[in-house]
Structure 1
Amino acid sequence: MDRREERLLDPDANILVVEDDGQMRHLVGRLLREAGFRVTPARDGREMWELLDDGAAPPDLVVLDVMLPGPSGLDLCRRLRARSQVPILMLTARGDETDRVLGLEMGADDYVAKPFGPREFVARVRALLRRSMGDPAEPARSERRLHFAGWMLDLRGRELFSPAGAAVDLSGAEYDLLLAFLQQPQRVLSRERLMEVAKRRMGTESSERAVDVQVSRLRRKIEPNESSPAIIKTVRGSGYLFVPSVARG
C-alpha cells in the first residue's frame, strides 16, 4: 500500500464485524487489526443494532456473516442498506450462487466465502474502503460530472441526482455499473464485459445472473415509473444498451 493510500485510510477505519462464531470473529478481528484497522465486534443482529444506535461514530465498513442466530445476515444486510450506504462485505460458508445473488439483492457490496485467504480478505476490505472514500490514484480532471436524460452523476462525490435534483442512493456495485454504462453510452455492453466490472466487487464469484440482478436494481432507481423512457435496454442474446447520450462537465 503506497503513501497516498495510507493517507486515504487514515485515521484508522473502524470496521464492524458481525460474526457469531468466536474463533472466526477472533481471526477476522486479528487480520484487520494487523492491517491497521480498528475493529468493533458483534455476535449477532441485536448487538449490531445496539452498537449502531449508541450514538458513537458509525463504522466505515461492516463485515457481516450470513449464518447468524436470530435474523440472518441477509436480512440484516437488507435492513442496514435501507438506512445506510456503508460498505457491506458478507462472509459465507456456502459459496453457491444463490447466496451471492441474494446478498446482492439485499445490497451487499462484496462477498468472501469461508475458508478465505487472509491476504485476499484484507485486500477486499481495502478495495471497498477506497471506493467508498474515493480513490486517491484517480487523476485530477476538470470534468467531474456526467449528465444523461436529466440525471447527473457527480464523480467526485460518487453521488447520483435525479432530474428533480434529489440525491439517489447507489450501492458501490450500482455505482460501478452505472459508470461503465456512462463511459460507453449507446453501445451494447455484453454480460461478459459487465461481469468484468462486477468482479471488482465479487472477485471470481460474479456471474451473468448476478449482473442481471445489479442491472435490475439500477433500473428501478433510474427508471422509477413504468411509463418512464427506457434508459437501459436489454438486447436479447447480446447484453445491455445504455440509450441516452451522455454529456460531461
Structure 2
Amino acid sequence: MNPHRTLARTKDGAPPGNIRTATTSVLLVDDDVGIRQLLTEYLAGEMIQLQTVQDGWIAHELLRTPDHGFDLLLLDVMLPGQSGFDILQRLRRNSALPVIMTTGRASEADRITGLELGADDYLPKPFSPRELLARMRAVLRRNGGPAIQKAPSPSPDAAPTPDVFQVGGLISTRDSLEVRVGPSIVRLTDVEARLLKILMRSAGHMIGREQLTLWALGRKHQPQDRSLDTHVSNLRRKLGLTGNTLGLPMLRSVRGLGYLLTATCGAPA
C-alpha cells in the first residue's frame, strides 16, 4: 500500500465529513477550476485521494522524485507554465506512472503525440466523469495498480453532512431541489437544480456549453440543441439572477462559449 495515501479528500483537499481510508492516490493537473472542483467531488465517492494543481511547473515539482506517492496522473494538455506534453516527456525519463491525458483539442495529431510520448489513455473534452472513472479503472488494471473501490455507504445512524453551496444570497443544498433566494424558498426541477449546483461550485468562472450539457443534461451538446439555454433562462426567471436584485448573483452568458455565475451584484442601476 502506498504510504502517502491516508484520507479521501474533497473540495480541493479538505477532508470529508465522514473520514474513510483512501485506496488510490491521483494527481489531477488542469487549469479549469470547474473541472477540478467537479472531479474532486465526484471522485471523493470512490475512495480516491485526489490532489489538484493548475500549473505545469507545480506538477513537475510534485512528480520529479520517484517517491511522489501517486498511483495515477490525470494530465491536461494545455497548461500554464509548461504543457502536458512537456510534463509527460520529462516524466517518462524515469517513471512508468500511468497517465491519462485530457484536452479540448480533438485533433488526431494531438492524440498521437500524447500516446507516442507514453500516455496510457487519451480522453477529449468535454468528458463524462463516469467515463473518466471507467478509464481510470482500466488503466490501473492494465498497469497492476490499486483497484478503485466504491466507498461504503454511511451507517444509518451517521449524522447527515449535506454540502451547502452559497453565492451571495443564493443558497443550495446538495440533495435538495429547493433553493433559498434571500428570504424565499424556490423549488427547481431536477435538471435545473443540477445545473445550478454546477454553476455555484464554479462561481466566477465560465463553464463551456459542451461541458454543462454533458454534466447537467447527461448528453453531448449538439449545435442546434437549445435545451441548455432554456434551462438557464428558467433559472434566471425563477431565481431572479438577472443582475437587478441586490445581494443576488447574476447568471451571465458568454456568447458562443458558455455560462458563468458572477459574484453578488451591487445595488440596482
TM superposition score normalised by structure 1? 0.47
Greater helix percent: which structure? 1
Query: Does 1 or 2 have the higher relative contact order (CA < 8 Å, sep 6+)?
Result: 1
